[in-house]
Each structure stands twice: as structure tokens, then as C-alpha cells.
């Protein structure tokens, strides 16, 4: 009867202990010390600078790639870049790493469980105290499972999940930001290639014109109408036009190599099927409003996700300064003899403990971590506002560039047409003896440069429109 009462009292004490631990957990469960994340007001303007005609909620940045670009060669280069570019592949691997951390954070509520098997033997010397008591040899065999679980009293586990999730989403937005940059670089490089091809055509046409002029001047020289200096000047102008051709061919090859490499391929030639004028910038298009752009641009979204993670880290650092409640349990088989190791229930053992630990003095480490976390959060707020500011600036710059380069293209085209007429008139006057060879040479040189300027300004205009597409978040789809 005494033995039964003893077991009953032991069981009663165990139930009281377990009940007390359960009450402590229930009282303190869910007492999160972290501040709930509140998105800062980016304080963006109502519209972009001088963009009264662009205030629309739909903008060109929302267009899919295959709707914004129609050139099939360019689209093939972009598709290859998205699939094979090494920067994007690295970004995808970063996403996979972040995803693994998210999966790990979801297990934070579960206890840690370890299995352990130990076997040991110890022999005492003949002169030891144990030998004097008749104990010369001890063996110990144990097999058990240990469990450790920390109650999420202050919300540390949930805040760690928030950090992991924010980091995962941030890596995905970083990938999108890299993709938008690469899409813009490929498109701008491709249109630079088209402009170089067009300039090469201009240079070859002018070389033919210079050759015709040189033939005429040589005929006049043979007829005694001009001196040898005129022939030499005309020949020098022809050589200048010829010198431009290999220089442009060099730039074309380098640009082709750059496009191949960025798309994950080895350098090789690119066969273009269109020219620069095939890309038409619409007269009316929308850049939307800054508030929508901020929510659409991946780099701005990545900056805000970084702020969310920083806010959760502040809560974690603060929770580390509060008491932690840990429950540990272990159980298994233990015996001094191997032969009775697995004798059940004689070899069974078990243990259950609960502990509350309050940090008191850690050389100010916890306080320092908390203060640094708050500073990092303030830094993230500044970086977020800075990213918004830079984004609005990029869109504003792209808008004014598209508008002003459109005017420059019109002026440069009109100037080139005028100089073409000047060149034709100078040649007619020269043939009739009413103008000298210098007038013809000067008119041809000026006309050549004006034609090259038209192509270059047109390239800048298209690239500015591509930059507007990128700055609005286009290319991330």
C-alpha cells in the first residue's frame, strides 16, 4: 500500500508540474513584442515633371515584352537573355536559397529532437577509492531521444518567418529588376546595331559620291580647268569617307559580340531583318502616375521588402532581451549491463524539465543588437525613400528625353535634307563653272555628317523610349 501511494504521489507531482508548465505557456503565448509593419508614405508627386499629358493610370511599362517590341530578331535575343544570362541565373539561385530558408522558418514552432546511443566502460585503478569499495569496473549503456522546445512567447518564431519570407520576395524582385535592366540593355544594344548598320550604308553611299566627284575633278584637271590641288583635296575627302567604313564595321562586330555575350552565347554575327526606322514611337503614350509606378517597379518593391525584414529584426532583437521559456524532455533505455540494456520496463528512463531564462548581463551585447537593428530599420526607410526618389527621377528624365529628342530628330532630318540639296546644287554649279571644287568638297562633308547625325539622334530617341519602358518597370513580366 505504501508503494502504491508513493507512485500516486509521484504521478500527482508530475501532473502538477506539467499543468504549471502548460499554464505558463498559455498565459505568455502570443505576447509579441515586435511592432506591426506600417508602410512609409513615399510622398510621391501627383505627376511627373512637365507631364500633364501623361497623367493616366495605364502606362507603357505595363505592356508585355512582345507587345512593346515587335522585331523578331530582338525578341529572340531577349528570350535568350532571360533564359541564359548568367546574372539572371545567379539571381534565380539566390531565390532558391531564400526559398529554402522560408521552408526552414516554417518549422520554427516544432521542437528539436535528437537521438543518441552511447556505450561506455571505465576501469578504476587498484589504489582508487572505488576499488577500495570493491568496484573495479563500471559499464553504462544508453539509448534515448532528447527533445527541446522553446515557446514562442514573444513572437520570435513568427518574426523569423516574416524575415525569411520578406527576403525570399526581395530576391524575386531583385531578379525582376535585373531582368528589366538586361531587357533594356539588349534592346538599346540592338538599336545601336541598327544605327551602325544605317551609318555604314550612309558612309558607303557617300564614298560612291566622293568617287564620282573625284572622277569629275580629274577630268577637269586633264582639261586644264582645275589645278592638282583640287584633285588632291578631292582624293583626301574620298579617303576620309573610306576610313569611316572599317571603323563602323569594327563597331558593328563589337556590338554584335556584346549582344551575343549578354544573351549567354559566344560571339558571332547577327543577321538583322529591319532598319532603325521600323521602330515607331507612338505620338500619344502614357507614363501613368508616380504612385502606380512605385508599386510596379521591382527595385522599389525590393527596397520596401528589405524594410519589412528590418522591422521584423527589430522585434527579434527586442525579444532576445526578454525571458525565454524552454521545455526539455528525454527518455529511452539505460543499463549498467549490456545483457539487460533492452529489458523493458526495467531499463526505461524519462525526464521532463521546464526552465525560464532571463538575460541579465551579456556585456551589453543584446542591447547593442537591439539598437543596431533599430538603426538598420531607419536606414532601410531612408533607402526606400531614396529608391522612390531615384525612380521618379528616371521616369522624368526619360519623358523629357523622348520629347526633346523627337524635336531634335525632326530638326536634324530637315537639316540633312537641306544639306543634300546644297550638295546637289554645289555639284551643278561646279559642273557649270560657277562654283569651285572647295564648295563641292565642303558641301559633301557637311552633308555626310548631317546624315550620320540623323541616324544617331534617331537612335537616342528610341533608346530614350526603351529607357522609359524600363524605368516604369517594363520588361519584368
For residues 388 and 403, what is the distance between their CA atoms, to the nearest angstrom?
23
- Per-residue pLDDT at 462: 96
- Per-residue pLDDT at 52: 54
Peptide bond into 345 cis (omega under 30): yes
For residues 305 and 171, what is the distance between their CA atoms, to the nearest angstrom?
9
In sequence order, what are the residues at sequence separation of 6 or more whose Cβ sits closer than 8 angstroms to the Cβ of residue 85?
182, 262, 263, 264
Indicate whether 268 pLDDT > 70.
yes
391 burial via Cβ count (<10 Å: 0-12, 13-18, 19+): buried
- Per-residue pLDDT at 350: 87
Tell which residue, 54, 74, 89, has the closest CA to residue 293.
Answer: 54
Q: What are phi and psi of 148, to 5 degrees?
A: -135, 130
Give residue 187's Cα distance to chain centre: 18
In sequence order, what are the residues at sequence separation of 6 or more whose Cβ sits closer than 8 angstroms to the Cβ of residue 172?
95
- Per-residue pLDDT at 444: 83
Assigned C-alpha cell, 437: 571644287
Q: What is the mean pLDDT of the chain?
A: 86
For residues 248 and 338, what is the distance between their CA atoms, to the nearest angstrom?
87
Assigned C-alpha cell, 241: 569617307
What's the CATH code, domain 31-109+153-323+365-471? 1.20.1600.10
- Per-residue pLDDT at 138: 86
Residue with cell 590641288: 229
Residues 85-125: tens digit of each pLDDT: 999 999 999 999 999 989 888 888 888 999 999 988 888 88
The domain locations on the chain are 1-30, 31-109+153-323+365-471, 113-151+324-357
Indicate whether 300 pLDDT > 90.
yes
Please state the rounded mean pLDDT for residues 196-210.
91
Tell which residue, 187, 186, 208, 190, has the closest CA to residue 198.
Answer: 190
Give residue 344's Cα distance to chain centre: 60
What's the CATH code, domain 113-151+324-357? 2.20.200.10
3-state secondary structure at position 347:
coil
Indicate whether 194 pLDDT > 90.
yes
- Per-residue pLDDT at 309: 94
- Count CB neighbours of 222 within 10 A: 10
Q: What are phi and psi of 71, to 5 degrees?
A: -70, 120
Indicate whether 28 pLDDT > 90.
no
Are the beta carbons of 334 and 349 closer than 8 angstroms?
Answer: yes
Locate all alpha helices (DSSP H) within 223-297, ordered by sequence. 228-262, 290-296
Are the beta carbons of 341 and 332 closer than 8 angstroms?
Answer: no
Beta strand ranges found along 307-438 (DSSP E): 324-335, 348-357
Residue with cell 529591319: 274
- Per-residue pLDDT at 26: 46
For residues 402 and 59, what is the distance between their CA atoms, to the nearest angstrom?
15
Tell which residue, 319, 396, 318, 477, has the closest CA to residue 44.
Answer: 396
Amino acid at each position: 500500500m505504501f508503494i502504491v501511494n508513493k507512485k500516486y504521489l509521484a504521478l500527482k507531482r508530475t501532473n502538477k508540474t506539467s499543468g504549471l508548465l502548460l499554464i505558463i505557456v498559455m498565459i505568455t503565448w502570443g505576447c509579441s513584442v515586435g511592432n506591426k509593419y506600417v508602410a512609409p508614405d513615399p510622398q510621391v508627386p501627383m505627376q511627373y515633371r512637365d507631364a500633364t499629358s501623361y497623367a493616366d493610370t495605364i502606362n507603357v511599362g505595363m505592356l508585355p515584352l512582345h507587345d512593346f517590341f515587335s522585331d523578331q530578331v530582338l525578341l529572340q535575343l531577349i528570350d535568350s537573355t532571360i533564359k541564359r544570362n548568367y546574372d539572371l541565373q545567379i539571381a534565380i539561385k539566390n531565390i532558391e536559397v531564400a526559398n529554402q530558408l522560408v521552408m526552414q522558418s516554417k518549422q520554427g514552432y516544432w521542437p528539436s529532437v535528437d537521438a543518441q546511443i552511447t556505450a561506455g566502460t571505465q576501469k578504476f585503478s587498484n589504489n582508487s577509492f572505488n576499488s577500495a569499495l570493491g568496484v573495479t569496473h563500471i559499464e553504462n549503456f544508453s539509448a534515448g531521444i532528447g527533445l527541446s522546445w522553446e515557446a514562442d512567447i514573444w513572437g520570435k518564431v513568427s518574426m523569423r518567418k516574416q524575415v525569411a519570407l520578406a527576403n525570399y520576395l526581395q530576391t524575386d524582385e531583385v531578379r525582376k529588376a535585373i531582368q528589366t535592366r538586361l531587357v533594356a540593355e539588349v534592346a538599346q544594344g540592338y538599336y545601336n546595331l541598327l544605327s551602325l548598320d544605317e551609318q555604314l550604308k550612309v558612309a558607303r553611299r557617300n564614298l560612291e559620291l566622293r568617287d564620282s566627284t573625284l572622277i569629275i575633278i580629274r577630268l577637269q584637271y586633264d582639261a586644264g580647268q582645275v589645278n592638282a590641288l583640287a584633285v588632291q583635296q578631292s582624293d583626301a575627302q574620298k579617303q576620309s569617307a573610306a576610313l569611316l567604313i572599317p571603323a563602323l564595321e569594327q563597331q558593328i562586330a563589337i556590338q554584335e559580340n556584346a549582344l551575343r555575350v549578354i544573351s549567354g552565347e559566344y560571339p558571332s554575327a547577327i543577321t538583322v531583318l529591319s532598319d532603325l526606322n521600323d521602330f515607331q514611337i507612338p505620338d500619344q503614350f502614357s507614363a501613368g502616375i508616380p504612385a502606380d509606378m512605385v508599386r510596379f517597379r521591382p527595385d522599389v518593391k525590393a527596397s520596401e521588402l528589405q524594410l519589412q525584414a528590418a522591422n521584423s529584426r527589430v522585434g527579434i532583437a527586442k525579444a532576445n532581451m526578454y525571458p525565454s521559456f524552454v521545455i526539455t524532455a528525454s527518455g529511452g533505455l539505460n543499463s549498467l549491463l549490456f545483457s539487460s540494456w533492452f529489458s523493458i520496463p526495467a531499463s526505461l528512463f524519462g525526464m521532463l524539465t521546464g526552465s525560464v531564462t532571463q538575460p541579465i548581463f551579456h556585456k551589453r551585447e543584446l542591447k547593442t543588437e537591439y539598437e543596431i537593428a533599430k538603426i538598420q530599420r531607419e536606414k532601410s526607410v531612408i533607402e526606400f525613400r531614396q529608391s522612390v526618389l531615384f525612380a521618379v527621377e528616371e521616369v522624368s528624365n526619360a519623358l523629357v528625353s523622348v520629347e526633346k529628342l523627337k524635336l531634335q530628330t525632326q530638326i536634324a532630318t530637315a537639316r540633312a535634307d537641306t544639306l543634300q540639296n546644297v550638295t546637289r546644287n554645289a555639284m551643278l554649279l561646279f559642273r557649270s563653272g560657277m562654283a569651285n571644287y572647295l564648295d563641292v568638297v565642303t558641301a559633301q562633308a557637311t552633308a555626310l555628317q548631317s546624315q550620320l547625325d540623323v541616324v544617331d539622334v534617331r537612335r537616342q530617341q528610341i533608346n530614350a523610349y526603351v529607357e522609359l519602358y524600363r524605368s516604369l518597370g517594363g520588361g519584368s513580366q
